Amino acid sequence: MMQLKKTTPTFLFYDYETFGIHPSLDKPAQFACIRTDMNLNIIDDPQYFYCFPSDDYLPDPHSVLITGITPQYTEKNGTNEYIFSKKIYNILRQSNTCIVGYNNINFDDEITRNIFYRNFFDPYEWSWKNGNSRWDLLNLLRACYVLRPNGIKWPRNKLGLPSFKLSDLTQMNNIIHLNAHDAISDVYATIEMAKLVKKKQPKLFDFYFKIRTKNELYKFINLKNFKPVIYISSFFGAVRHNMSVILPIIWDDNNSNILIAVDLFKDIKKLINIFKKIHFDNLLIKNLFDLGIVLLYLNRCPMLAPIQTMRNEDYNRLNLNRDIFNKNINLIKKDNFFIENIKIIFSKKKQNNQSFNVDLEIYHSFFNSHDKKSIKIIRNTQPFFLKNINFNFHDSRLKTLLFRYRARNFFNSLDKNEKEIWLKHCMNIFNPLSLKEYQNKIQSLLEKYSNNLDKVILLKKLLDYVLKKYKKLFFKDININ
């Protein structure tokens, strides 16, 4: 396999399989990645490895059925989450790497951030430091479908809407994809789909690669001249081809990564009238999204395009009426208070209340420089010695994070009192009511898939895992009657 210098720009295609769909609460099962050069030629051996779940966690049966990965398999072939995270961290931080997946912006990258957060690696630097960046092939394909669909076959779902499931696209375009929902197989399939876009629509591929970073996107956005842009996002739904024409309005005062815009295919008159009728203190921001307010996060690679990119044939194919958005722009121009009203509303935006579960608190705030020094000490200290260090944390999350980090990854490093605290925490997960619901869920799936031997075996293994886990933790059999 050809090797490039560490400083040579590369793509790293990657994927997770997980034990559930919640990036903060659920756990990873498998990681896989393949590095390519900028022409998408594979330049390194594929890497894949497994992670077993911690003792305070119940895998989602639906996810086990999809991936076919049982917790027993990961216990036999994988590592704890700390070792798993460290291996991934060392792969992702190679300089000049563009990290790509399929729906990674919304899912895989969030898994990465959360496992790094739980295991005291920086949750963000891997995606921007030392020339690194990230990109998402799913969004690129959505843009390709809207703007330049020729050369690629587009599958439809049962409702007749375009399907962007990776397995549907690979099948329709005769791309080998042997084991969908196996991470390494999905990575190979993602690379082949990227090659297809690059081959059939090279200008579109290059354009979106160029504007993938927020610094390039800042240059692209013009707030002064009421200049609309095309925005491609699942926010608009498949019925609307995952796209709209938007008008950028203002930057969020609290977060420079957030652009506040208006969906120009919504009823803007209704939005203007709402501002006139309802007092701002009584206006919920979440209600404005139904009326046409759109938030774009520039650090999430939003897919924007100049309005001139749309040709007459595209308007006809997508059944879009440009008169609608032009009229809405004129309405906004005529209303002298429209932009000011939006500024006022978003200036009153309340911060989310802090959760009682530290695992959900990654986005509460950044750690300050003092705490970052403590985090570095934690990472460089043998687990058995951590209990002897008195960390003067400024951030209240870190005390609980450290305890869970030690308990989940290095249970034997806990003293007797700490073990009792941890087992009490685990009992909250394995309480009789939760276990009864869990058993009922598995029983329901066993009945549903009674004629599918493979799924029956997976579900029985999962139930066996939970029963044995309970006995291991609490030295008794489950009594959930």
How far apart, in whole angstroms, are the C-alpha atoms of residue 326 and residue 97? 41
Neighbours of 433 (CB within 10 A): 8
Residue tagged 């769909």 (tokens): 21
3-state secondary structure of 404: helix
DSSP one-letter code for 24: T
d(CA 119, CA 378): 9
Longest CA–CA separation in the chain, Å: 72
Provide the Cα torsion 387, 392, 396, 400; round to 10°: 0
Strands of the sheet containing 133-136, edge to edge, are 78-79, 47-51, 28-36, 10-18, 97-101, 133-136
**What is 431-458 written as a DSSP string?**
-HHHHHHHHHHHHHHHHHTTT-HHHHHH
CB-count burial class (<10 Å; 0-12, 13-18, 19+) for 4 = middle
Is 125 marked as a binding-site residue?
A: no
End-to-end CA distance of the chain: 58
- Which of these, 273, 269, 274, 268, lies nearest to 292 by C-alpha position? 268
> 192 labelled as ligand-binding?
no
- 252 class by beta-carbon count within 10 Å (0-12 exposed, 13-18 middle, 19+ buried): middle
Residue among 425, 434, 418, 444 nearest 466 (CA): 434
Question: Which string of b and e fits 192-216 if b means at least 16 CB within 10 Å?
Answer: bbbbbbbebbeebbebbbebbbbee
Q: Is 372 annotated as a binding residue?
A: no
User: What is residue 179's three-state secondary structure?
Assistant: coil
460 labeled part of a ligand binding site:
no
293-297: strand order across its sheet: 293-297, 258-263, 243-251, 229-232, 303-306
395/412 Cα distance (integer angstroms): 26
**Local structure of residue 335 (DSSP, 8 states):** -
Q: Which residue carries 């950028």 as its tokens? A: 248
Q: Which residues are annotated as a binding site for substrate?
A: 17, 165
Q: Which residues are annotated as a binding site for Mg(2+)?
A: 15, 17, 186
